[in-house]
Amino acid sequence: MSSTADIHLSICQPLGSPHWLGLLDQARYYRWMLRRLGANVTIAKNRLRHGAINFIFGAHDGFKPAAAERHACVFVNLEQLGAGGRQLHPSFLELLRRSAVIDYDAGNVSAYAADPADVPVAPILYAPYLQPENPVPLEDRPIDLLFIGSMNERRKAWIDRIEACGVNVAMFDSALYGAERDAYILQSKAVINAHYYESCRFEQARVSHCLSLGTPVISERTPLTNPHEAFEDSVLWLQGEELEQFFSEDFGTPAFYEAARAGLERFRTVDPIEVYADVLGFAQGYAGEIAKRLDTGPWRPTLVNLGSGKDYHAGWLNLDIVERAQPDLMLDLAQPLNLPLQAHTPTQGALLLEEASVELINANNVLEHVPDLVSLMGNCLKLLKTGGEFRIEVPYEHARSAWQDPTHVRALNENSWTYYTDWFWYLGWYEHRFEITTSTYLDERVQPCEQDKAAFMRMTLRKIETTPAERMHAQAMQAEVRLPDDPFELAVAPSNVHALQPLRSEALAVNG
């Protein structure tokens, strides 16, 4: 296998949602496996990487296909699909149908693939990097049973049966992932696993993570449950009425701990490295084919987002002045901007940004931070096509949100846009200006409200051409004289011009 494969793992995370942090566990496992095979692996949220094979996690929550037009993308499905599974938007299944896909369970594949042989199935199994150096003995752990995952009536019924046997089940009261969640798993005698969907497909990723941490898993098993063979002798399975007998008589006994430790040891012996070698070969072959069809010219973005970090917009040109926000391009639009601008971005490769080429600019709680707002507004006007829109959200001047951030340099109200619309000529603008097309007050939950409850303002400005009357007013008010630079040729002066000069001088002297 080549040692120079560039792999990028991209996690799709909706703005501010903590639940997609759970995908970090699976991405971390892929990173570990692919690095073992010699690949160069990077990882990020929402960002694709130019020139790499991009493995996409969590695309079911609104991945925009246009974002992949300049990239080789392989989609990793971790959802339970098909009859009795999760009901997802048809557009996601269509995305999987026409894309390269890797699945964790063969039972999902028929929901989107015409030929199951076209989809590699890669299990998520033992991760040695999770094994603690000095684990607390199972008998000494303070939490008897821990439940992890979303709750529904089916799972609640299973947990109620356990607690009816006199055993307490601990659960989280908020979203918890990563090291903060693992700290509780490491303090638990066991984690219980119950199926969420009627398909009863085994929750492989969650269970393998717990077993890798050295915590036993007690799992529901139905006739539909079809786990990978690595879990057969590693998980403590309960079927039907076995639950009451197990938690009334067996749980917490020396025999339980002995069986649990033996299962953990067996789980550590299974290494699917050959499967992941096939996955890497599949991805490289696909990338080689797709490279023949990708656009190799410079990227000409028509959508621009001011800000990055949590506000990153996949498929847009994301600009920021802070490197830790991981923008597509570090660019301060409050500084002089020379167009066309040529640059290289890690996400899209070569970039060409031209005047009047952008259809939409978004600025969500950005303008209140900009020291030179006039320059930024002018550069945005220059970038937008005629009819292009500038969508803005800012704190409202009279609200608590207006000055809560120490980096705010201004407050904004209804009159803050006058210079960019009616008094455009003050700014030196002439041929174009902005007009307000929509304006809404938002409360602290960012929902539409009346002015007296406003915490934010949301508005849309549109770039329009000025009218002849507006241009006449601008010429009258601006210091600049707007005249074309008429072409001319040097003319030979008439011969009598020089002769007249002394006469005029003498006449002035006599008259004086």
Residue 229 is part of a domain; what is its CATH number? 3.40.50.2000
Residues 440-466 have pLDDT tens digits of: 999 999 999 999 999 999 999 999 999
Largest CA distance in the chain: 134
User: Is 136 in the same domain as 234?
Assistant: yes
Q: Dihedral, CA atoms, 298, 299, 305, 311, nearest 10 degrees?
A: -110
Q: What is the mean pLDDT of residues 367-388?
A: 96
| The pLDDT value given to residue 318 | 96
| The pLDDT value given to residue 506 | 52
User: Is 345 in the same domain as 331?
Assistant: yes
Locate 433 and state its tokens: 């200006």
CA-based nearest residue to 22, from 195, 186, 156, 203: 203
The Cβ of residue 28 has, within 10 Å, a number of other Cβ atoms equal to 17
Give the span between the Cα atoms of 63 and 46, in whole angstroms: 9
| The pLDDT value given to residue 3 | 47
| The pLDDT value given to residue 208 | 97
Q: Which domain holds residue 73?
A: 6-122+273-290
Are residues 7 and 40 in contact, defined by beta-carbon separation less than 8 angstroms? yes
User: Is 111 in the same domain as 258?
Assistant: no
Residues 171-196 have pLDDT tens digits of: 999 889 999 999 999 999 999 999 99
Residue 144 domain flag: yes
User: Is 80 in the same domain as 166?
Assistant: no
Residue 322 domain flag: yes
Residue 68 domain flag: yes
Give the span between the Cα atoms of 428 and 327, in whole angstroms: 31
Residue 491 domain flag: no
Residues 301-337 have pLDDT tens digits of: 999 999 887 889 988 999 999 999 999 999 999 999 9
For the cut 60, the answer to whether the pLDDT of residue 511 exceeds it is: no
Residues 225-268 have pLDDT tens digits of: 999 999 999 999 999 889 999 999 999 999 999 999 999 999 99
Q: What angle do CA 32, 34, 35 make, to 5 degrees?
A: 65
User: Is 133 in the same domain as 246?
Assistant: yes
User: Is 169 in the same domain as 278?
Assistant: no
Kindly state the DSSP code that residue 102 receives in the 8-state scheme: E
Residues 96-154 have pLDDT tens digits of: 999 999 999 999 999 999 998 999 999 999 999 999 999 999 999 999 999 999 899 99
**Distance linking the first and last C-alpha atoms of the chain:** 102
Give the span between the Cα atoms of 25 and 337, in whole angstroms: 42
Provide the residue type at 332 as one letter: D
For the cut 80, the answer to whether the pLDDT of residue 166 exceeds it is: yes
pLDDT band for 2, please (50, 70, 90 cuts). Answer: very low
Residue 366 domain flag: yes
| The pLDDT value given to residue 291 | 86
User: Is 187 in the same domain as 92?
Assistant: no
Burial of 404 (0-12, 13-18, 19+ CB in 10 A): exposed
pLDDT band for 501, please (50, 70, 90 cuts). Answer: low
* Predicted structure pTM score: 0.88
Residue 493 domain flag: no
| The pLDDT value given to residue 319 | 96
For the cut 90, the answer to whether the pLDDT of residue 404 exceeds it is: no
pLDDT band for 402, please (50, 70, 90 cuts). Answer: confident
Kindly state the DSSP code that residue 422 receives in the 8-state scheme: T
User: Is 345 in the same domain as 397?
Assistant: yes
User: Is 396 in the same domain as 346?
Assistant: yes
Give the span between the Cα atoms of 191 and 215, in whole angstroms: 7
Give the span between the Cα atoms of 508 and 512, in whole angstroms: 6
Print burial letters for 146-170: b (CB count within 10 Å at least 16), e (below 16): bbbbeeeeebeebbeebeeeebebb
pLDDT band for 1, please (50, 70, 90 cuts). Answer: very low
> Of the ranges 61-70, 167-176, 352-361, which one carries the lowest mean pLDDT score?
61-70
Provide the number of structural domains found in the chain.
3
User: Is 393 in the same domain as 252?
Assistant: no
User: Is 251 in the same domain as 311?
Assistant: no
Residue 498 domain flag: no
CATH number, position 395: 3.40.50.150
User: Is 10 in the same domain as 117?
Assistant: yes
The pLDDT mean for the chain works out to 91
Q: What is the mean pLDDT of residues 431-445?
A: 95
| The pLDDT value given to residue 321 | 94
For the cut 60, the answer to whether the pLDDT of residue 467 exceeds it is: yes
Residue 252 domain flag: yes
